[in-house]
């Protein structure tokens, strides 16, 4: 059995895109494909081009697994089998606003869509990605071919068609010990190690967590002041726990990290 893991691309890239590969209001599929195929466009391997932390971690995690194959879901390229050394030009394209193709067009991008996944009967296709990428997958005409092998979140556009809709508790991050930005990476890791039962056990544990404490909401300015007062001598997670559990303030790991960054820590 091969585990085909779909990994969302990152906005951050190691190289600046040429003007013709920045999706604008006047860009359409035809002009995009023409620019993509330009002979003067410099191209790079996936591992070199994408610099986003989660994308890099997920690609490394999947590549290291002996039975897994990574595929990159890109709003500019389509679906790229990352293990085949395909070269990608720098580009800027997203699924939001007018900054990229529609969900219905995604599978028509230069590298195609789900038709690239080469399946055997008992293989699995794993899709733990941000919602926009799941919506793009849900509109791909090739979805029907892989639906009998697909593993995806129960509360997603894929839940009604996939073989294994996975229950992911809203507080599973607390059990897994990760921030929201790293949740999909951790879900992939757990699946590669323990399959769906591993994720279900984490959701069961989240179900048994005590009720959330009643924390006070603060503005970004007030949070910046609080971090400035209490930051000294604490690691990031020690500061997070102090602010949330001792001061009873509602602030995400990401907001506290941004406050530390602004203070130059």
Per-residue pLDDT for the chain (265 aa), expressed as one digit of tens each?
A: 999 999 999 999 999 999 999 999 999 999 999 999 987 889 999 999 999 999 999 999 999 999 999 999 999 999 999 988 899 999 999 998 889 999 999 999 999 999 999 999 999 999 999 999 999 999 999 999 999 999 999 999 999 999 999 999 999 999 999 988 999 999 999 999 999 999 999 999 999 999 988 999 999 999 999 999 998 888 988 999 999 989 999 999 899 999 999 988 5
In angstroms, the Cα distances linking 150 to 42, 53, 81, 119, 124 are 35, 25, 17, 11, 6
156 shares its domain with 226? no
Report how far residue 146's alpha carbon sits from residue 120's, in angstroms, rounded to the nearest whole number: 10
φ/ψ bin of 85: left (φ > 0), alpha (ψ from -120 to 50), beta (otherwise): left
Residue 198 lies in a domain: no
- State the maximum Cα–Cα separation within the chain, in Å, rounded to a whole number: 59
Please name every residue paired with 88 in a beta bridge, in sequence order, or none if there are none. 44
pTM of the model: 0.84
**The predicted structure's pLDDT at residue 83:** 83
Q: Does residue 28 lie within any of the structural domains?
A: yes
Tell me: do 143 and 253 sit in the same domain.
no
| 121 alpha-carbon distance from chain centroid | 27
Tell me whether residue 42 is in a domain. yes
Domains in the chain, number:
2
Q: Supply the DSSP symbol for 13.
A: B
- Give yes or no: residues 32 and 100 share one domain: yes
Phi-psi sector, 233: left (phi>0), alpha (psi -120 to 50), beta: left
Asked if 67 and 152 sit in the same domain, the reply is yes
Give the separation between CA 101 and CA 109, rounded to whole angstroms. Answer: 8
Pairing of strands 87-88, 249-250: unpaired
Report which of 113, 32, 12, 42 is spatially closest to residue 71, judged by C-alpha positions.
Answer: 113
Give me the residue label for tokens 């990428």: 133
- Specify whether the CB–CB gap between 131 and 156 falls below 8 A: yes
Is residue 199 a part of any domain in this protein? no
Asked whether 82 and 71 are in contact (CB, 8 A), the reply is: yes
Q: Are 250 and 216 in contact (CB under 8 A)?
A: yes
> Beta-carbon neighbour count of residue 209 at 10 Å?
12
Q: Are strands 150-153 and 164-166 parallel, antiparallel or unpaired?
A: parallel
Instruction: Give which of 72, 60, 71 is closest to 10, Cα–Cα.
Output: 72
Q: Name the residue among 151, 93, 87 with its Cα closest to residue 119.
A: 151
Range of the domain at 229: 216-262
pLDDT of residue 203: 97
DSSP label of 242: I
pLDDT at 265: 58
Is 102 within a domain?
yes
- The verdict on residue 250 lying in a domain is yes
Torsions phi, psi for 74 (to 5 deg): -125, 135
């Amino acid at each position: 059995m091969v585990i085909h893991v779909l990994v969302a691309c990152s906005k951050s890239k190691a190289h600046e895109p040429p003007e013709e590969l920045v999706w604008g209001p006047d860009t359409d599929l035809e002009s995009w494909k023409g620019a993509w195929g330009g002979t003067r466009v410099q191209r790079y391997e996936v591992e070199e081009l994408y610099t986003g932390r989660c994308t890099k971690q997920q690609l490394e995690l999947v590549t290291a697994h002996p039975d897994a194959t990574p595929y990159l879901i890109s709003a500019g390229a389509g679906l790229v089998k990352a293990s085949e050394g395909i070269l990608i030009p720098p580009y800027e394209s997203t699924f939001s606003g007018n900054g990229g193709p529609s969900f219905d067009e995604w599978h028509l991008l230069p590298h195609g869509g789900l038709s690239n996944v080469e399946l055997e009967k008992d293989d699995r296709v794993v899709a733990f990605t941000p919602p926009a990428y799941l919506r793009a997958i849900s509109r791909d005409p090739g979805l029907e071919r892989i639906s009998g092998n697909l593993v995806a979140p129960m509360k997603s556009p894929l839940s009604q068609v996939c073989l294994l809709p996975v229950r992911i508790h809203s507080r599973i991050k607390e059990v897994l010990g990760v921030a929201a930005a790293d949740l999909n990476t951790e879900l992939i890791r757990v699946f590669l190690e323990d399959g769906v039962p591993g994720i279900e056990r984490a959701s069961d544990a989240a179900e048994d967590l005590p009720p959330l404490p009643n924390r006070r909401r603060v503005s970004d300015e007030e949070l910046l002041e609080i971090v400035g007062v209490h930051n000294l001598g604490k690691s990031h997670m020690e500061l997070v726990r102090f602010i949330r559990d001792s001061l009873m303030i509602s602030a995400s790991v990401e907001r506290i990290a941004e406050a530390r960054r602004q203070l130059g820590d």
